[in-house]
Every structure is written in C-alpha cells, then in structure tokens.
Amino acid sequence: MRRGGGWAWGFTAPALLLIGFYLAYPTLATIYLSLFDRQSQRFVGLRNYLDLFSSSAMLTALRNNVLWLVLFTTLTVGLGLALAVLTDRVRYEAAAKALIFLPMAISFVGAGVIWKFVYAYRPAGAPQIGLANQVMVLSGREPVGWLIAQPWVNNLALIVVGVWIWTGFAMVVLSAAYKGIPKELLEAARVDGASEWQVFWRISLPVIQSTVAVVATTMVITVLKVFDIVYVMTNGSFGTEVMANRMYKEMFQFRHFGRASAIAVILFIAIVPVMLANIRRFRQQEATR
Amino acid sequence: MAVVLTALAWFLPTLGLLVSSLRPASDVFNSGWWTVFANPFDLTRWTLANYQHVLAQQGMGRAFLNSFVIALPATLLPVLVASFAAFAFAWLDFPGRQALFLTVVAFLVVPLQMTFIPVLRIYNQMGLAGSLVGIWLAHTGYGLPFAIYLMRNFFGSLPGELFESAYIDGASPLSAFFRLALPMSTPALASLGIFQFLWVWNDLLVALIYLGGGSATAPLTLKLSSLVGSYGQDWHVLTAAAFVSMMVPVVVFFALQRYFVRGILAGAVKG
C-alpha cells in the first residue's frame, strides 16, 4: 500500500463523478420527487404512495411481483440445484450445461419473442404453430390462449420464460459450489449407508448453503425489477402488470413523475436489506483479508 | 436421462425460432416448424428472404450497426474508468478509501429505476436525450459499481510485494498501473469486458428511456421490441429479427464461454 492522496484522487475522480451523477444524486432526487405532484411542482407528502396502494392496476402489479418473487425464485433455485447435482454425474455434462446456460447470453427481448412464438394460439382444429399448443393438442386437450387466460395461466406462462432464462445461471453457480464439496465427505456418508437423498439433504445442501443464499438473493433482486419480458410479451395487459412496467407507463404514458418516482422508491425499499447485507458481507471479507 | 430431456426442452424454443426464421412466410403461417423435419432436405421449403426483409426493409441492419456503435464505447469506457478506480482502492492509501468503496458496493444493487427521472430531466435540458454520448455515459455510470468491485477484488489478489518494489525503484502509481497491474489482469479484464458488452448489447430499458422508441440510433433490442408491437403475428419477420439480435451474443457465448461464465460467477453480487 502506498500513500498517494493526489494520485488516488486522480485515479478515482472519473469513476466517482460518474457514480455521483448517474446513481447517487438521482437516487436522492427520486426519493424527493416521489413526494411531489405529477409535474414535480407541488409538495403532496405521501399522497402518491396512498394513491398507488389504492389503485387496482398497481395492486395487480404488486400481486404479480409477489407471485414472480415466490415462483421464480423457488423454481430457478430448485431447478438449478437439481441440475447442478444431476449434471455432475453424466458424461456429456459440458454440452448439457451449455444448452441450459445459453439463454443467459441472449436478450430478454429475444427470449420474449422466442416464447411468444412457443405460446402462439390457433383455434382448435386449425394446425397449431406454437409448440405449447401442439403439445396440448397431441395430448388430446384444447389449445390454450397462454398469454390471455387470466389470472394464473398467463402470469405463469411469463414466469416460465424468466425461469428458462435464469435457471442456467443458478445451475452454473451452484454447480461450481457443489464441485467444491470434498468427495471423501460424500463417500464416507455413502459407505455408512446413507441414501443419495440423505447425502444431498444432510451433507451437500448444508455445505453449499451460503452459495444457495447468494443465488436466491440474486434471483430476488432480479425478479423485483422484472420488466423486459412483460413489456415485450403482454405489456401488462390481461392482468399481467408488474411494478417496473407500471413505472414506465406512469413516466411516458401518463406523465405522472410523482407516482413513477414513488414506484421506484418502493422497489428500492424492497432491495435495501440486500444492499445492507452486501455491505456487511464485504466488511467481514475485508476483516479476514 | 433427466438431464438429456431437460437440455433438449431448454433448446427446443430456440431451435423453433431458428427453423421458422428460415421458412417461407406462408409455411410459417400454415404449419408448425417441426413439420420441416418430415422432409428436411426439400430445399424449396427453406429461404433467406426473411433475413433480407428484416435487414433491408425493417431497419434491423441499421440497428445491428447501432448496437455495435453503442456497445463498444459503453464497454471500453467503464472497464477503463473502473480499472483506474479499482487500482486506487486496492493499492493506494488515501483518506475515505474504505467509506467510498463501501458506497460503491452499496450501489451494486440499486434499481436503475431510481435514477431514470432525474437523469432524463438533466438530459433533456442538456440536449443529451436520444444522443449516443448520453447512452454511452449512462451505461458507463450504471456499469461502474460492478466493474470496480470485480477489478478491485482482482487487483487485491495480486502480490503486494510487486507494487512495493516497483515504488521503491521509483515507479509512479501510473506506471505501476499500466506496466504491472493491467498486463497481469487480462483474464479479469476479458471477463469484465464480455460481461459488460453482453449487458449493454442485451439492454432494452436504458435504451428505451434515454433513446426513445422511434430513434434512428435505436439498437437491436429496441428495434425488435417495436417490431413485436407492429408485426405481432408475422412470425416470419419476428423470428428472423429476433435471431439477428441474438447472433452476436450466441457467437460470443460459444467462443468465449469460459470468460463469460467467470464474469457471471462474479456477477452473482450484482442486481
């Protein structure tokens, strides 16, 4: 470590200025603006928040965000964990993982188009062009309007797209942790007569639990801000609205900057615990360095 | 077995998109894409017309260039700015070092939604809305916390004696940075660069806010999402357009998977 006051400011100034302009100042300004009317001229206190919590569109968005939060997080972490363990035992591990991980590389807009096509609907009797309804017809059922049938089918259909994109991420991170478990530990348990199921729940999972927590946290942060998938596939119609899309509408469609800011602040408040946890984790890391 | 089936199930939607983008419009409209596998070598059932159409007439060609024009500076700039800052945080002692770095860590997960309205207002006043400079700088600002975090962790893992002896030999921090730190960090720089590049390339929201829908500088994601709005059921157009937007990330993914995975693993802390 070198004492270098002058040098250090030179090195950090561009980054600090940019972070100040794009993140620090706007975060404070948005909190402030959320207390003002649509054109940010008149102070209205908590009016925007009260309005939001009594508007049915916003309540739908809140409900859907909770639905996303629970299902998306459970499914990505659960599937990712299962795949991390299962791919470890097969010979073509690399190829299988690459296919499942691939959606992480493409845009959510691209994924939205891919899945809109999977969900394409043709009335019963007509040849289906979407994979999902072809499966329905082949199994002797009626085709479904996946993106229209509310409230559960279409929201689930959208969540599936998110899960399709992010499971690969969970799998890759969890797989790295799983491979780090000492093999002797697992072998010893097996020799002692533990079933594979017991080995997983009693040994593997407790050993990698901090990684599971990191992945789950990442999923929670991601899902709170879910936007692109909904914007492209339904734009929030038929009861599929989410908060981030609602904020976009308040901003550009209704030009209500007070309410748009209030939605952003609600998202921010939901993420503050993660932010504090990050800082604490980092401090601990530094203390042990 | 379960793994093979899952991998296949994961791949089918993308395969369907690729196959459909290469079929004539009437075929896409009248039959499922899987029917081509009955006669896969019937060349009259394959065409590149959809690609010609989206690239030339729907402006996807222009958008493809725009995506590069946006993504390259928006990758290089944050990597460079972050490397300087990360080096100072790792190897220079200055008052406020720890507190400033904790602030950077805090901003890792702040939702971008918190920033749009105030920044857009300033952009409108300064005439930066819709401009390339505006979007380059915005992506730089938003990418910095993660980039600094990643590079600072990497620089921090380099042996300290190296820098000590360089300083004793009279090297300035600037030459220690350029001659020692950067050359030793190529793997980290590659991971970060790829991560940031794909992040920007795949971004819709930031472009939507600062460039706006009908902009001539619209990148692929923005163009594609507006095509979905206007050609909702013309699957031959949409599938080809979507594939154009995916080509670069898919190539990067297969060619540089190792670095990409490393960037993603490090990115587990980013929102």
B202 and A251 in contact by Cβ < 8 A? no
CA B66 to each of CA B132, B139, B209, B217, B253: distance values in angstroms, whole numbers, following the listed order: 9, 15, 16, 6, 21
Distance from CA of B241 to the nearest CA of A (A): 9
User: What gap in Å lies between CA B233 and CA B225, rounded to an integer?
Assistant: 13
Cβ A134–B34 below 8 Å, yes or no?
yes
Task: Pull the structure tokens for residue A64.
Answer: 């859907």
A&B contacts, CB < 8 Å: 301
Question: Do A198 and A110 contact (CB within 8 A), yes or no?
Answer: no
Q: Do B110 and A275 touch (CB under 8 A)?
A: yes
Note whether A117 contacts B112, CB cutoff 8 Å: no
Write out chain A residues lying below 8 Å of B163, CB-based. Answer: 2
Cβ neighbours of A227 in B, within 8 Å: 204-205
β-bridge partners, A43: A36
Residue labelled with tokens 């799998």: A171
Taking CB atoms and an 8 Å limit, are B202 and A107 in contact across chains?
yes
Q: Which of B113, B122, B165, B210 to mutate to test the interface with A (most CBs of A within 10 A)?
A: B113
- Chain B interface mutation, best of A1, A3, A9, A12, highest count of B Cβ atoms under 10 Å: A12
> Residue A8 and residue B253: Cβ atoms within 8 Å?
no
pLDDT of residue A1: 63
Beta carbons of B251 and B90 less than 8 angstroms apart: no
Q: Collect all residues of chain A within an 8 Å Cβ-Cβ radius of residue B118.
A: 25-26, 29-30, 33
Helix, strand or coil, per DSSP, at residue A3: strand
| CB-closest option in B17, B20, B100 to A16 | B100
Q: Give the separation between CA A167 and CA A215, rounded to whole angstroms.
A: 10
Asked if A27 lies within 8 A of B241 by C-beta distance, the reply is: no
Q: Determine, for residues B84 and A115 on separate chains, whether the beta-carbon distance falls below 8 Å.
A: no
A125-184 pLDDT per residue, tens: 888 999 999 999 999 899 999 998 878 999 999 999 999 999 999 999 999 899 989 988
For chain A, list residues with pLDDT below 70.
1-4, 288-289
Q: What is the pLDDT of residue B271?
A: 43
What is the 3-class SS of chain B, one letter each residue?
A: CHHHHHHHHHHHHHHHHHHHHCCCHHHHHHCCHHHHHHCCCCHHHCCCHHHHHHHHHCCHHHHHHHHHHHHHHHHHHHHHHHHHHHHHHHHEECCCHHHHHHHHHHCCCCCHHHCHHHHHHHHHHHCCCCCHHHHHHHHHHHHHHHHHHHHHHHHHCCCHHHHHHHHHCCCCHHHHHHHHHHHHCHHHHHHHHHHHHHHHHHCCHHHHHHCCCCCCCCCHHHHHHHHHHHCCCCHHHHHHHHHHHHHHHHHHHHHCHHHHHHHHHHHHHCC
Nearest one of B260, B253, B210 to A110, comparing CA atoms: B253
Tokens of B262: 């490393």
CB within 8 Å: A268 and B269: no
Q: Is the distance from CB of B206 to CB of B135 less than 8 angstroms?
A: yes
Look at A117 and B13 and tell me if their CB atoms are within 8 Å: yes
- Widest CA span of chain A, in angstroms? 77
Residues of chain A found within 8 Å of residue B31, distances taken between Cβ atoms = 127, 129
Successive 10-residue mean pLDDT values, chain B, 271 residues? 89 94 89 87 86 89 95 97 95 90 91 95 92 96 95 89 87 90 91 92 95 83 91 89 94 86 66 43
Please answer whether residues A67 and A159 qualify as being in contact, where contact means their C-beta atoms are separated by less than 8 angstroms.
yes
Report how far residue A225's alpha carbon sits from residue B203's, in angstroms, rounded to the nearest whole number: 13
pLDDT value at residue B216: 85
Question: Which of A12, A95, A112 is the closest to B88 by Cβ?
Answer: A12
Full DSSP string of A40-86: S-SB-TTHHHHHHHT-HHHHHHHHHHHHHHHHHHHHHHHHHHHHHHH
Contact call for residues B77 and A233 (beta carbons, < 8 A): no
CB contact under 8 A, A232 and B225: yes
Q: Which two tokens stand for residue B252?
A: 């990067």
CA distance B246 to chain A (A): 6
**Closest Cα of chain A to B145: distance in Å?**
8
Contacts of B209 (CB under 8 A, 6+ apart): A251, B116, B120
What is residue B213's predicted lDDT score, i.e. its pLDDT?
Answer: 66
In A111-211, at which residue ranges do the beta strands (DSSP E only) sit?
none
Interchain pair A113, B224: CB under 8 A: yes
CB contact under 8 A, A4 and B224: no
Which of B13, B33, B173 lies closest to A4 in CB terms?
A: B173
Q: What is the pLDDT of residue A120?
A: 92
Dist. CA B27–CA B236, nearest whole Å: 9
Q: In angstroms, how far is CA A48 from the centroid of its own chain?
A: 26
Q: Please give the angle made by the CA atoms of B55, B36 and B226, to the nearest 5 degrees.
A: 30
Our CA dihedral for B221, B227, B233, B239, rounded to 10 degrees, sits at -40
Distance, in angstroms, between B50 CA and closest chain A CA?
15
Instruction: Provide the pLDDT for residue A231.
Output: 95
Closest CA to B151 of A134, A258, A116, A15: A15
Interhelix angle B257-266/B186-202, nearest 10 degrees: 80
Mutation for testing the B interface, residue in A282, A283, A286, A289 having most B CBs under 10 Å: A282
Which amino acid is it at B218?
Answer: A
Chain B residues near residue A18 by CB distance under 8 angstroms: 81, 137, 140-141, 144
Contacts of A132 (CB under 8 A, 6+ apart): A118, A119, A144, A146
Are A271 and B271 in contact by the 8 Å Cβ rule? The answer is: yes
Closest approach of A142 to chain B, Cα-based (Å): 17
The owner of tokens 């479904």 is A144
Which residues of chain B make contact with A128, given a CB cutoff of 8 A?
A: 32
The answer to whether the Cβ–Cβ distance between B221 and A109 falls below 8 Å is yes
Chain A residues within 8 A of B220 when measuring between CB atoms = 107
Contacts of A189 (CB under 8 A, 6+ apart): A198, A199, A202, A203
What gap in Å lies between CA B31 and CA B20, rounded to an integer? 10
Q: Hey, what are A157's tokens?
A: 């259909």
- pLDDT at position B164 is 86
Contacts 24+ apart (CB under 8 A), A224-228: A224/A65, A224/A69, A224/A267, A224/A270, A224/A271, A224/B111, A225/A267, A225/B111, A225/B112, A225/B113, A225/B271, A226/A65, A226/A68, A226/A72, A226/A162, A227/A108, A227/B204, A227/B205, A228/A107, A228/A108, A228/A109, A228/A112, A228/B204, A228/B205
> Is the distance from CB of A106 to CB of A155 less than 8 angstroms?
no
CB contact under 8 A, B174 and A7: yes
Choose the mutation target among A3, A7, A101, A251 for the interface with B, i.e. most B CBs under 10 Å: A7
Rounded to two decimals, the pTM is: 0.92
Which of A115, A127, A172 lies closest to B30 in CB terms? A127
Torsional sign, CA A128, A129, A133, A136: positive
Taking Cα atoms as reference points, which of A258, A256, A231 lies closest to residue A245?
A231
d(CA B270, CA A186): 32
